[in-house]
Structure 1
Amino acid sequence: MQRNTLVSAAAAVVLALGGPVAAAATATADTAKTVPAATAARADVTAEAAASAALKANPGVIESLERDGSVWHVDVISKDGTHSELEVDSASGGVTKENQDDEQKADDYAGLLAAKVTAEQAMKAAVAAHPGKVWSVQWDDDDDDNGRAAYWDVEVKTTDGKTQNVHVDTATAKVLSSNSDDNDDGN
């Protein structure tokens, strides 16, 4: 008699839990089907967020940042001149260190390290002048030998679908010039 009571109690527990467990299993299966759609609907990591993530993982100054498919390539220079190449996943914001040059060459990056305007500030100035999304930013001091000062070169994909190349002053964050890759004469 006692055995029948235990079997009946166990069967009641299985039946009582069977409904919620089955419902949970169904919900989990439905959720699994919708996760890719939810992930696809999630907004991409912006250039500004990629810069922030890279600097959080590897403190320093951004030399360049560029979108390449599903990743952002970010070059960060530390105060001692160490050059690190990072990748920031454009979906998750996860940071991976790809390469690091430990030969300290702070002198090679003196202009960048002393600049008053950071890459992040240059991106803000470029987007203020040409609303859209930043696709790349790069420190450009190649023309120093020709008497031209260094500048930030920012590529913006504008809201009207064009690409603007914007040069931003490294001391004032003023837009020096801009031109469109789409043969648009407007600046």
Structure 2
Amino acid sequence: MKRTRSLYVPAAAAAVLLTAGPVASATAASATAVGTRPASAAAARADVDAAGAAAAALKKYPGFVESLDKDGSVWHVDVIGKNGKAHSEVEVSAAGAVTRSDSDTEQDGNEYKTLLAAKVDAAKAMKAALAATPGKVWSLDWDNDNDNGVADYWSVEIKSSDGSTKNVGVDAKTGKIVPADSDNDGDNDNDNDNN
């Protein structure tokens, strides 16, 4: 009797292994696939920053960034063409893709003469502002109204890690920090037109 029972046990174990083997293998493969998903999903969720949005807009519409601002996960970028006569309003998605544009090619070229001649472009202005005030660039605007004693400058809004914002002015000729049109506002920018 003992001998017969010992034959049934190995046969039953073999049957279980044959049946469970593919299931265990599929489970292991599934776990491996799931293990790789979070890394790629996290990479897909990484929002493009202001510099990336500006670069994406300029790649599609060569020229000069006049302004940019973040609205949710979308960047709105205004690009002035190299001749000053074209103006494109561009939306850049969180992934850095240009998703929409409105263009006007009949602008007065003289209106943007100082922007086109500026030694400090938008990218350099953002770098200078971030060097002076750590955080993330939330918006950038070209300003030539001389309201702070500087004829041509960039107004760069920086959002700090605590959620407060600060406007930093960057001289378009020297790259030096100058007073901006407004200073610390200490609020969380809701990106509406009532600010």
The TM tier, using the shorter chain, reads 0.7 to 0.9
Q: Which sections of structure 1, spanning at least 5 residues, go unmatched?
A: 1-18
Partner of 1:69: 72
Say whether 1:132 aligns with 2:135: yes
Partner of 2:190: none
CA contact (8 A) 2:66 2:122 kept: yes
CA contact (8 A) 1:84 1:97 kept: no
Q: Deviations over 1:24-76 (max 9, x none)?
A: 9x849x75xx5699248732110011111111111100000100112000000
Partner of 1:84: 88
Map 1:18-167; keep pairs closer than 5 Å: 23=26, 27=30, 31=34, 38-39=41-42, 42-80=45-83, 81-90=85-94, 92-143=95-146, 148-167=150-169
Using a 3 Å threshold, how does the CA distance of structure 1 residues 118 and 127 change in structure 2: closer, same or farther?
A: same
> Which amino acid is the alignment partner of residue 93 of structure 2?
D
Q: Deviations over 1:56-115 (max 9, x none)?
A: 11110000010011200000001122000111102x111123200011421111011111
Q: Which sections of structure 2, spanning at least 5 residues, go unmatched?
A: 1-21, 188-195
Partner of 2:15: none
Partner of 1:174: 176
The structure having more radius of gyration, on CA atoms, is 2
> Which amino acid is the alignment partner of residue 68 of structure 1?
D
Shift of 1:162: 1.9
CA contact (8 A) 1:116 1:172 kept: yes
TM-score by length of structure 2 reads 0.71
- Percent identical across equivalent pairs? 54
Secondary structure, in 3 states, of the residue corresponding to 1:97?
Answer: strand
Question: Hey, which bits of structure 1, 4+ residues long, moved more than 6 A?
Answer: none
> Which amino acid is the alignment partner of residue 103 of structure 1?
E
TM-score by length of structure 1 reads 0.74
What CA RMSD, in Å, does the superposition of the two structures yield over aligned residues?
Answer: 3.4
